[in-house]
């Protein structure tokens, strides 16, 4: 069974994160403790790139609870957790390059609360909330991933429209839009943790130009 913490972590890596492997030199201490001829080793890592304190704090706490590991600040807005086991788990759950990530069956077949947390984490990272146009938009290059999200939203009676492709520099992007009629449903069933996006959503629902 997938925990809500692991679902959020997986979604964050699909949204504003990435996984990778690099070849690094073994430290002198490591070679003294474990002598070997090969001075190089593989290093697996997972990184989350975001500048919203609420989301960073949540990510750090989720990693601690799920893996009992400490997240390391890597560079500007970038936070890292290393290890082959964590890398492998998140890759299995769908983490990948911008056009390759997917929602794993373990998420799709999980309970509704877990699905909500996956969606909320992904939308926290990737959604644009337009108060003027009264819509929530995902603008991404991964058409298949957006089709999976659309299907998942349908389970909560949240209608969405997939449009594109649109030319974006060298890439094609697609828009998954939630319009006026379903925004209230999204607010009631998914919502945001991201404070600015949450405030924008509240303006659409409860503001002077409320739907």
Where residue 126 sits, what CATH number does that domain have? Answer: 3.10.28.10
Instruction: Provide the domain count of the chain.
Output: 1
> pLDDT at residue 120 above 90?
yes
Sign of the alpha-carbon dihedral angle for 12, 14, 15, 21: positive
111 within some domain:
yes
Cβ atoms of residues 164 and 174 within 8 Å: yes
**Residue of 171 and 34 predicted with greater confidence:** 171
The tokens of 68 are what? 């009992």
Burial environment of residue 63 by CB neighbours within 10 A (0 to 12, 13 to 18, 19 or more)? buried
195: Cβ–Cβ under 8 A, 6 or more apart, which residues?
A: 52, 54
> pLDDT at residue 40 above 80?
no
> pLDDT at residue 2 above 90?
yes
Cβ atoms of residues 11 and 122 within 8 Å: yes
211 within some domain:
no
pLDDT on residue 199: 96
103 within some domain:
yes
pTM value is 0.91
Tens digits of residue pLDDT in 93-113:
999 988 999 999 999 999 999
| β-strand pairing of 135-140 with 161-168 | unpaired
Tens digits of residue pLDDT in 46-75:
999 999 999 999 999 999 999 999 999 988
Domain that residue 93 falls in? 4-206
* pLDDT averaged over every residue in the chain: 92
154 within some domain:
yes
């Amino acid at each position: 069974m997938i925990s809500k913490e692991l679902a959020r972590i997986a979604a964050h890596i699909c949204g504003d994160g990435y996984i990778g492997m690099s070849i690094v030199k073994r430290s002198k201490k490591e070679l003294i403790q474990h002598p070997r001829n090969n001075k190089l080793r593989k290093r697996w890592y997972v990184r989350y790139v975001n500048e919203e304190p609420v989301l960073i704090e949540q990510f750090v706490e989720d990693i601690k609870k799920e893996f009992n590991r400490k997240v390391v600040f890597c560079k500007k807005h970038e936070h890292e957790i290393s290890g082959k086991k964590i890398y492998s788990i998140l890759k299995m759950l769908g983490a990948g390059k911008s056009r390759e990530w997917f929602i794993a069956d373990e998420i799709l077949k999980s309970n509704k609360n877990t699905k909500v947390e996956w969606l909320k984490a992904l939308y926290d990272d990737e959604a644009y909330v337009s108060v003027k146009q009264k819509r929530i938009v995902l603008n991404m290059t991964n058409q298949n991933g957006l089709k999976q999200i659309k299907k998942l939203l349908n389970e909560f009676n949240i209608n969405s429209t997939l449009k594109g492709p649109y030319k974006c520099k060298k890439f094609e992007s697609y828009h998954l839009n939630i319009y006026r009629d379903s925004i209230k449903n999204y607010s009631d069933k998914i919502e945001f943790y991201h404070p600015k996006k949450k405030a924008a959503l509240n303006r659409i629902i409860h503001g002077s130009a409320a739907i």
